Structure formats: C-alpha cells, structure tokens
A and B are shown apart, each in its own frame.
Chain A
Amino acid sequence: MRNPPVEMEPEVIEAEMVLPTYLSFKKVQMHEKYPKGQARGRHWKHLKQIIQAENYQNYPPDEPNYVNIESPPSMNPCKKICDITGFEAPYSDPRTTLRYANTEVFKHIRLIPNESVQRYLALRNAQVVLK
C-alpha cells in the first residue's frame, strides 16, 4: 500500500522510485524528526571528528581500533610513472615537477596551461595548495 506523496506522472508512480512520506512501521516519521524549514544539514560529525572524539589514546594501544589498524607507508621505493602517458618515467621537469617519459611528452608538458598542470599533479596529490 503505497501512497505517493504528491501527484506524479503515471510512469513515475509506476516505477515506485519516490519514497513515501508516511511509513507504517516507523515509530517516528521523518518529517516529524526533521521538521521542514529547519536547517537540514544537521552538522553530522565527519570521520575525522568522530575519531578525535573517540579518544583512542586513553585505551591500551594494543587493542585494535579504527586508527591503529591503518597500514604503514610502503617500504619499497615509490614507482615513478609518467604523469601524462603512464609509461615508465626516469625524468622529471624542474619547472612543473611533472614526470615524463620522453621528449615528445616533454614538449607537450611545456605547452599545456597551468591549470592542466595542476590537475595532473593533483592526480598524485602533489598540486600546489594555497592555504
């Protein structure tokens, strides 16, 4: 028994894609819990804040918790591949710090505008961030 919330086109009703506003098995309905007009973004805590609030340092360190099961950085030297083509890249451009595989790619690097350069660097999380 669905009662779609508003008058809708027949195919939309048939697809049953819209969530009804009243659900019988709920003790508290959504519109009662989050009344209309109130700021909807209830400022839920993001993961970083949740972890901070957990206070993992108060507990024994050998108990597994969300933070200490993270993997460590890699022991192997980092693999260098060309930012543009994906081949192996022994060289890097001193001006833009992009890595490149051969002279053609280098020519291309020198031609592209700065925003593209930053986007390529952002793939590697090496872009310039102004704080």
Chain B
Amino acid sequence: MPFVSQTSLQSDYTLFSSNCPIVIDNGGSNFRIGWAGETDPRIIFRNIVQRPRHKATGETVTIVGDHDPALMKYFDCTRSSPRSAFDSNVVYQFEIMEYILDYGFERMGADGSQVDHPVLITECVCNPVQSRSKMAELLFETYGVPSVAFGVDAAFSYKYNQQLGICDKDGLVVCPGFTTTHVIPFVDGEPVYKACCRTNIGGFHVSDYLKQLLSLKYPHHMSRITWEKVEDLKMEHCYIATDYASEARLFQKGGKEAEDKTRCWQLPWVPPPVEGLPSEEEIARKAAIKERQGQRLREMAEAKRSSRINELENELQGLEFLLQQLGNVEEKDIACFLAETGYVSKQEIESSRAKVMQSLRKAKGEPKGEQAETEEKVDPSAAEKYPLINISDNMLTPEQLKEKKKQLFLKTTSEGRQRAKQKRFEEELERERQNQQDEEKRLENPELYLEQLRAKHRELSEKVEQRKRHKTNGNHTNGNHNLSGGVGRGERLNAAQKERMRLLTTAAFDRGKGEDTFGARDEDWQLYKLMSKDNDEDEEGPDAYEAELARISSRLQDIDPNFVSKSELVPFQPVVEVPSFRPLSKEDFQIVFGVERFRCPEILFHPNLVGVDQVGVDEMAGVSIRRLPSRSQGLNERMTNSILLTGGSCLFPGIRERLEAGIRMIRPCGSPIRVVRASDPVLDAWRGAAVYAASLQFPGQTFSKTDYYEKGEDWLRRYTLRYTL
C-alpha cells in the first residue's frame, strides 16, 4: 500500500523554539504535519474521523485517521461512519477539523498551555473566505497560535520542484488530487490564479467508479468489495491507456495480450467436502439405525395399544356391572339410579356397551382383515336393511313410503361409494402396470427412453408456456414493459377473451338511446356469471398439461444428470448467476477485471464518462493557457515546455505519455512539449511548504491575531501568499 500512515508520538516538541513554524498539509486524503526545515513530515494519517461507541464501557470516543481493523472490534461502529471535514476540496465541518488538529498536535507531542508556533497550512485554490476565516479563528482562538499563513499545495509543489531544477519559472502545474484536479499556470514564479482551472474529478471518483463497476459485475460478492480494498486495487492495478479506443479493441478481440493484461482476484474459498460413496459399513450402520428406530416405534405402538385395550376392558366391566345392578334394582328406583350414573335409559347403557365391545375387538384383532369382513358382512345385510324398496308403492302406507324413500337414498349412496372405491382400485392397478412398463422400457434401452422423455418434456413445456403467454398477455397489457419481448407478442386474444370483451362492450354501450338501463332486469347480471365462467374454462385446460409436465420433469430429474428444470430459469436473472445444480467451483469466487483497469482512470481525461460535464486534464491545459491575460507567443511555448505533474492521483502508470499526447493535439504543431513528474508527487507539497516556511521572509507573509481582527474579512479575502521570496 503506497499511502502509509505514521502516527508515532513525537518526543522532541520542546526542542523547537517558538519561532520554528509548524507546517500542515491539509489534504483531502491525508493530513501531514511536521516542522519547517525538515525533509519529511513527522505525522501522516488519513483525514477522517470516526466516533464509535466503546463496547465495554458504552462511552463514545473519537478516533482520528485509519487504524488496524483488528482493534476496531472493540468498538461498535454501526452508528458511526468515517467522516471527512471536506466538501469537495473546501473545509466546511470545523468540529471534525478540530478533532483532526487535536490529534495532529497531540501526536507532535504538543504540551504547554497553547501551541506557541506559527502555523503554515494549505488550502484549496481560491478558498471561500468563510472557510478561511473559520480556520483562522479556530487556530487563533482554540489553539492560541501566534500567526498563521495560508498557501496552495500545488504551488508549493511547483516551487519545490523548480528549486530542484525539474521545472522552470514559467510553466504549468497539473495536480489531480483526491476530489478535484487543478491546472495552474506560473509566470515568473508566481501562480496566476486568474488563469487557473479546476475540474471536479479526482482519485475519489476513480475509486468510486471502480467500486460501482465491480459491484454491478459481481453482485453476490458485493460485501467483499469494500472501499479500502477498491482503493488498494486501484493503486496496484490501474493504469492509463495511451489510446483508449485501441486498448478497448484489444480486449474486445480477446487475444493473448488481453489475457496478459487481465488480473484476477481470488476470494477465499473453501471447497465443499467431497462425499464419497458410502462404504459398506456406512450402509450397514445406517440400516441398523433405521431398524432400531423402527423397532422403537413398533414398541411404542404396541404399548399404546395394550393400554387402550386395558382401558376398554375396564369400561366394559364397569358397564356390565351397571347392567347387573340395574337388573337387581326395582322398577321405581330405576330412574333415580340411572340419574346417578348419568345414563338416561337401559338402552343407552346397552348400546354404549356394544360400542365398547366393538372397539375392544378392533384393538385386539387384526384390523384390516376385520374391516374387510365387516364391510362384506354389511353388504349382504344391505339387502335386508332395505326391505321396503322391493315392495311397490301402492302397497305401502304413507309412513312406510317415507321409510322406503329413506332406504332408497341410503342404498344408492352406499352403492355409489362402492363403485367409487372400485374405480380407484382399478386406476391404481393401471398406474402400477404403466410404471412397470416404463421401468422395463428404461432398463431395456436407457438412451432412447431418455430421449423420448426429453422430447416429450420439451413439447409439453412449450405448450404450457404458450398458454401462459396467452393468459398473461390478456391481463397484463398495461404492465411492466420489462417483460422480455412481451410487447406485440401474444396480444391476439383467444376466443374466450374475445367473447368477454364483446360482452363487456355490448353491455356497456348497447342501450345507447340516452338511458342506461343495465341492471333493471335480473337477467343482466347473468352477464358476470358468463364472463367469469369464460375465465375459468380457460384455466382448466392447461392444468392437465402442467400435471403431466411436472411428472415428466420429476422423472427426468431422477435419471438425467444434465437436466435443468425450465421453471427454475426465471428470465430475470443476471447472466453471471450460478445455476444451482452445479456445485460452486473456484472460478465463482474469482473477480476478474481487465477493461476496468484502464477504464476507471480514463475519467480523469473524460469526465463525461461519469456524467461530469467538464473538460479532462489534457484539455484543461489548453483552457488554462487560453485564459492567461498576457498572451505572447513565447510565453505559451515556455508554458508547455515545463508541465509538472503532481498530486496523489498522478501516480497511475502511463499518465505522463497520455498527457503529452493530449496536449500535443491541442497545441500548434511543433511547439515544444515537456511533461515531467514531480520528484515525489505525494509529499512534495509538504516539502515545498516546509522549505518555504523555513525561509527568513516567511514571517512577513503571515498574519497574526490582531491583524485578523483589525483588518477584517475583506482583507482576508484578498490575502494571498507571495511564493518567490
């Protein structure tokens, strides 16, 4: 990871005198602080603040910068997300800024009652005066800083490289930053802000674009594609193509070169344990377990049965005893005796006794055999039970006639039941026979059988789908336009639907003679019955097909290893979805990105790829030169002769050549173009500022608290640093 934070507590704060300024590079991505005159900042950390709750104590604490994720497990971070003090490149949240400055100073080892050193802090180009004044206020009021100076980071970087000889005193600085990209021309060593140019695209947008693209391409790995990981990927693998179109064509062809340029990120993946065929002992063991379970169940059933038998026997005994007693008791006392026991009459006791005997017999004996016998016994007795049926009507009394009707009814129903049972039995036999035949066919010739089955399945599924389409298109003509190709197809209504439409229209508009009398007559409402019946009839037909289809698909699933049931492939699934019949393999856990490698940084040159309607970096140089107030030919040439690339986002490989090619396209032919990269694009801004602050004329460029309060906001607005000292 190129951007590393260093946050160890410094111990030599007291060794620096009060004149030694503290230099702060307040960047969108990182905050760097150190002493003037040194080559490297002492403390670097990410410019973010989190306020999670400590899990053990419940206190809300403040954590500045990014830290080891392993330690973050002690904190509850659900309500707090990392926040930045910046909105685009302007500081607007001063509470967060204060936390950051607190941490920065504290890590520097600050003690004493105030920060007693002049402070040089960087800001964006043409910082709004509100932000500037609030920052000054913060530094003066809260930290007691004696004097403050504001400068632009890109300018410091340019000056530093100018001193190193990398660029001249007239030139351009191109600074792609975290949220914005600036191009500032320098004339005679001083930046000309009038001609400066800013596009709101930076490293943040590149990372965000990459994150979105990967998330859309691999939706089921979305939880793995975190912001930090994406930034790592961007820094390691992204590059800028010299010519986007040709590079894209290379990948489209898909040749070996494209393969070489494609990177693959393998996510951790555990292969599922391979289930070998269960060995002999496994089978034997399982069989034994099943046997034991069966045994246990049988024992339980046995126990239940015997307890029930006991109960019934007891009941029987009690009832017989009652009957005996009844026989012994005299006539008069029968009523009160019966009242005590709860039975109303002797017949009741007898009938309940009979019932108990029957259930006892059932519980004891072989149930099925008994039932069959009892059923058969019923049948011949049926003829006896309905004696009156055979006698003709005129020989019976009215009462007997009623009796006869009842008996007739009973007879027909019982006969009907018999017939139904017979039919069911026959059907089962038939099905058994068919299954047997099927099995034989399969065993004879498995291939052919499979083919036939598959063909049948295909036909049936087509028919079912057709019917479905007819049905749904009748109902969903106003629906979602995303139905695949539904518009125009199947809108031809079938006969039933046409009939329904006709009924509706005639019902509604038939009596067009000014009065609507629909509903006055009862027959009108029959219309609705007709309409709904039409609907129902339509739906009964395909059910037979669907049942057949289901049966065939289940057969196929059983025997065909390659079969994927059609109903599972719902049309609206993304193409990369794994069909659930194949076990997940290593490839499913790989994230491949080839085109994204150079597609994402391309937005620096073409912001309209992400919808930002501004010029890209190469055209910005042209815009900036055009905006220069004094336009002498020699000046333009000197400008393009020394173009400096600085800022964190210029670390993409290939950016230098691309920028050079881009600028060549907009400048007149033959003009000298020289694009150089800063010696250290990330730290040069701080280094330049440190060198600046260490110079003797620096105190003349700062302003103190009294200045700030006396001279007022207007003066602060016009305050700019003079860079050549």
Task: Please list the residues of chain A having a beta carbon within 8 angstroms of any beta carbon in chain B.
Answer: 1, 5-9, 11-12, 15-20, 23-28, 30, 33-34, 40, 42, 44-47, 50-51, 53-54, 62-66, 69-76, 78-79, 81, 85-88, 95, 101, 108, 110-114, 116, 119-120, 122-126
Do A44 and B57 touch across chains, with their CB atoms under 8 A apart?
no
Rounded to whole angstroms, the CA-CA distance of A55 and B27 in the bound complex is: 26
Listed from nearest, the 3 A-B pairs whose CB atoms lie closest are A125-B611, A86-B595, A64-B193
Residues of B within 8 A of A71 (CB): 197-199, 614-615, 620, 623
Q: Smallest CB–CB gap between B216 and chain A, Å? A: 6
Rounded to whole angstroms, the CA-CA distance of A95 and B57 in the bound complex is: 56
Rounded to whole angstroms, the CA-CA distance of A50 and B95 in the bound complex is: 16
Rounded to whole angstroms, the CA-CA distance of A7 and B595 in the bound complex is: 50
Do A42 and B95 touch across chains, with their CB atoms under 8 A apart?
yes
Is B41 in contact with chain A by the CB < 8 A criterion?
A: no
Selected from B114, B144, B216, the residue in CB contact (under 8 A) with A116 is B216
Residues of B within 8 A of A119 (CB): 212, 216
Residues of B within 8 A of A28 (CB): 141-142
Residues of B within 8 A of A7 (CB): 56-57
Rounded to whole angstroms, the CA-CA distance of A11 and B213 in the bound complex is: 38
Is B415 in contact with chain A by the CB < 8 A criterion?
A: no
Selected from B105, B142, B193, the residue in CB contact (under 8 A) with A69 is B193
Q: A19-B62, A72-B623, A124-B610 are in contact. Are A81 and B599 (CB under 8 A)?
A: yes
B67, B485, B571, most chain A CB atoms within 10 A: B67
Do A9 and B74 touch across chains, with their CB atoms under 8 A apart?
yes
Residues of B within 8 A of A74 (CB): 606-608, 613-616, 619
Q: Smallest CB–CB gap between A19 and chain B, Å? A: 4
Do B574 and A116 touch across chains, with their CB atoms under 8 A apart?
yes
Rounded to whole angstroms, the CA-CA distance of A101 and B254 in the bound complex is: 14
Q: Smallest CB–CB gap between A107 and chain B, Å? A: 8
Residues of A within 8 A of B143 (CB): 25-27
Task: Please list the residues of chain B having a beta carbon within 8 angstroms of any beta carbon in chain A.
Answer: 7, 9, 54, 56-57, 59, 61-65, 67-68, 71, 74, 87-88, 90, 92-95, 98-99, 102-103, 105-106, 110-115, 125-131, 141-144, 193-194, 196-200, 209, 212-213, 216, 219, 244-245, 248-249, 251-252, 481-482, 484-485, 571-575, 595-596, 599, 606-616, 619-620, 623
Do B131 and A50 touch across chains, with their CB atoms under 8 A apart?
yes
Rounded to whole angstroms, the CA-CA distance of A64 and B7 in the bound complex is: 37
A11, A25, A63, A113, most chain B CB atoms within 10 A: A25
Residues of B within 8 A of A75 (CB): 615, 619
Do B252 and A47 touch across chains, with their CB atoms under 8 A apart?
no
Do A66 and B575 touch across chains, with their CB atoms under 8 A apart?
no
Do B68 and A25 touch across chains, with their CB atoms under 8 A apart?
no
Do B575 and A108 touch across chains, with their CB atoms under 8 A apart?
yes
Q: Smallest CB–CB gap between A85 and chain B, Å? A: 6
Rounded to whole angstroms, the CA-CA distance of A65 and B216 in the bound complex is: 39
Residues of A within 8 A of B59 (CB): 5-6
Q: Smallest CB–CB gap between A100 and chain B, Å? A: 12
Residues of B within 8 A of A62 (CB): 194
Residues of A within 8 A of B64 (CB): 19
Selected from B68, B144, B572, the residue in CB contact (under 8 A) with A27 is B144
- Given contacts A75-B619, A79-B609, A116-B219, list 19 more A-B pairs with CB under 8 A: A6-B61, A7-B57, A19-B102, A25-B113, A27-B141, A30-B99, A44-B93, A66-B128, A69-B196, A69-B198, A71-B620, A72-B623, A74-B614, A74-B615, A75-B615, A85-B252, A86-B599, A88-B249, A111-B574
Do B611 and A73 touch across chains, with their CB atoms under 8 A apart?
no
Rounded to whole angstroms, the CA-CA distance of A19 and B607 in the bound complex is: 39
Rounded to whole angstroms, the CA-CA distance of A46 and B91 in the bound complex is: 9
Do A69 and B126 touch across chains, with their CB atoms under 8 A apart?
yes
Q: Smallest CB–CB gap between B343 and chain A, Å? A: 72
Q: Smallest CB–CB gap between A90 and chain B, Å? A: 12
Q: List 5 A-B contacts (CB under 8 A).
A: A12-B74, A25-B114, A40-B95, A64-B125, A111-B575
Rounded to whole angstroms, the CA-CA distance of A116 and B102 in the bound complex is: 43
Who on chain B is nearest to A127 by CB? B611
Do B606 and A79 touch across chains, with their CB atoms under 8 A apart?
yes
A23, A53, A69, A78, most chain B CB atoms within 10 A: A69
Do A50 and B90 touch across chains, with their CB atoms under 8 A apart?
yes
Selected from B9, B74, B126, the residue in CB contact (under 8 A) with A65 is B126
Residues of A within 8 A of B611 (CB): 123-126
Rounded to whole angstroms, the CA-CA distance of A86 and B198 in the bound complex is: 26
Q: A25-B143, A27-B114 are in contact. Are A112 and B574 (CB under 8 A)?
A: yes
Rounded to whole angstroms, the CA-CA distance of A82 and B485 in the bound complex is: 22
Do A54 and B129 touch across chains, with their CB atoms under 8 A apart?
yes
Do A19 and B61 touch across chains, with their CB atoms under 8 A apart?
yes
Rounded to whole angstroms, the CA-CA distance of A24 and B571 in the bound complex is: 66
Selected from A72, A110, A123, the residue in CB contact (under 8 A) with B615 is A72
A7, A20, A54, A74, most chain B CB atoms within 10 A: A74
Do A123 and B212 touch across chains, with their CB atoms under 8 A apart?
yes
A33, A46, A73, A87, most chain B CB atoms within 10 A: A87
Rounded to whole angstroms, the CA-CA distance of A101 and B253 in the bound complex is: 12
Q: A19-B103, A30-B99, A69-B193 are in contact. Are A87 and B125 (CB under 8 A)?
A: no
Q: Smallest CB–CB gap between A67 and chain B, Å? A: 8
A26, A51, A85, A86, most chain B CB atoms within 10 A: A86
